[in-house]
């Protein structure tokens, strides 16, 4: 029996009117397709714009949440109890998030996030979703064979590690709190923020300790 588990959408969950942000995401994807098809932009240029936006805004907000959870056990507990409310403690606006849930990695347990029916994603704390997150291949395979997909993305997990796959929706978005890497005990909160990546908060990568001089 596999120890890989999935938190799925309720049947028909997305058939009751998506949030405005989801409609905007669909329109943005359609516009991107038109611009590329007409030769106005190349896929590489689109990726460059997205990466620039992400570096300036996106995952930096989520990194605040992760770093505080690493250094403040009280905040970590409040985050687990009501993540949407806890965002305010680190100056992160919840935006159009209806509800944010955090799932915390720990020894022997690894979490990864997807959206099997569309591309629900916590834009407020992670920025723009990467193109692979929206791809049908990732959305279908990460649920069926998460260990293989993570391995292909460069994340090798021990055989005994339980993998939980969390399926986001328009009502509930998930963010992974990755494990704090060993060797970072002397880093302050600001320094820890700089280690946190978007992919680690989706669950497809680990946070790595900085190279020692």
| Residue 71 pLDDT greater than 70, yes or no | yes
In a domain, residue 106? The reply is yes
Could you tell me where the beta strands, DSSP code E, fall in 67-211? 100-104, 109-114, 162-167, 173-177
Given the residues 2, 114, 119, 200, the one annotated as active site = 119
Q: What is the pLDDT of residue 19?
A: 47
In a domain, residue 36? The reply is yes
Confidence of residue 4 (pLDDT cuts 50, 70, 90): low
In a domain, residue 213? The reply is no
Could you tell me where the beta strands, DSSP code E, fall in the chain? 5-7, 100-104, 109-114, 162-167, 173-177
In a domain, residue 211? The reply is no
Given the residues 2, 114, 120, 200, the one annotated as active site = 120
Decide which of 58 and 19 is more confident.
58
- Which range marks the domain in which residue 132 is found? 5-202
In a domain, residue 212? The reply is no
3-class secondary-structure state, position 174? strand
To the nearest whole percent, how much of the chain has pLDDT over 70?
Answer: 79
The number of folded domains in the chain is: 1
Q: Is 51 exposed, middle or buried (0-12, 13-18, 19+ CB in 10 A)?
A: middle
Q: What is the pLDDT of residue 59?
A: 81
Question: Any idea which residue has 């979703």 for tokens?
Answer: 129
Task: Give catalytic status of residue 114 as yes or no.
Answer: no
Q: What is the pLDDT of residue 25?
A: 62
Task: Give catalytic status of residue 120 as yes or no.
Answer: yes
Least confident of 14-23, 52-61, 151-160: 14-23
In a domain, residue 210? The reply is no
In a domain, residue 94? The reply is yes
Taking the whole predicted model, whether its pTM rises above 0.85 is answered as: no
Alpha carbon distance 102, 176 (integer Å): 6
Given the residues 115, 168, 170, 200, the one annotated as active site = 115
Given the residues 2, 114, 118, 200, the one annotated as active site = 118
| Residue 144 pLDDT greater than 70, yes or no | yes
Q: What is the pLDDT of residue 35?
A: 80
Query: Domain holding 173: CATH number?
Result: 3.90.330.10
Decide which of 191 and 123 is more confident.
191
In a domain, residue 209? The reply is no
If you average pLDDT over each of 3-7, 11-15, 43-47, 112-116, which comes out highest?
112-116
Task: Give catalytic status of residue 119 as yes or no.
Answer: yes
Confidence of residue 17 (pLDDT cuts 50, 70, 90): very low
């Amino acid at each position: 029996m596999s120890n890989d588990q999935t938190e799925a959408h309720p049947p028909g969950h997305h058939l009751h009117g998506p949030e405005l942000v989801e409609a905007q995401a669909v329109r943005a994807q359609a516009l991107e397709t038109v611009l590329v098809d007409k030769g106005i932009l190349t896929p590489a240029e689109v990726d460059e714009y997205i990466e620039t936006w992400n570096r300036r805004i996106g995952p930096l907000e989520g990194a605040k949440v992760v770093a505080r959870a690493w250094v403040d056990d009280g905040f970590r507990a409040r985050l687990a109890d009501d993540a949407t409310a806890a965002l305010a403690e680190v100056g992160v606006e919840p935006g159009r998030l209806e509800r944010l849930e955090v799932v915390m990695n720990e020894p022997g347990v690894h979490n990864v996030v997807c959206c099997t029916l569309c591309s629900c994603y916590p834009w407020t704390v992670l920025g723009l979703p990467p193109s692979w997150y929206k791809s049908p291949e990732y959305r279908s395979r990460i649920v069926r064979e998460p260990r293989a997909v993570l391995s292909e993305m460069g994340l090798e997990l021990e055989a005994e590690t339980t993998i939980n796959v969390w399926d986001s929706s328009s009502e509930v978005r998930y963010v992974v709190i990755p494990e704090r890497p060993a060797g970072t005990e002397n880093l302050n909160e600001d320094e820890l923020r700089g280690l946190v990546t978007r992919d680690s908060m989706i669950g497809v990568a680990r946070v790595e300790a900085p190279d020692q001089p």
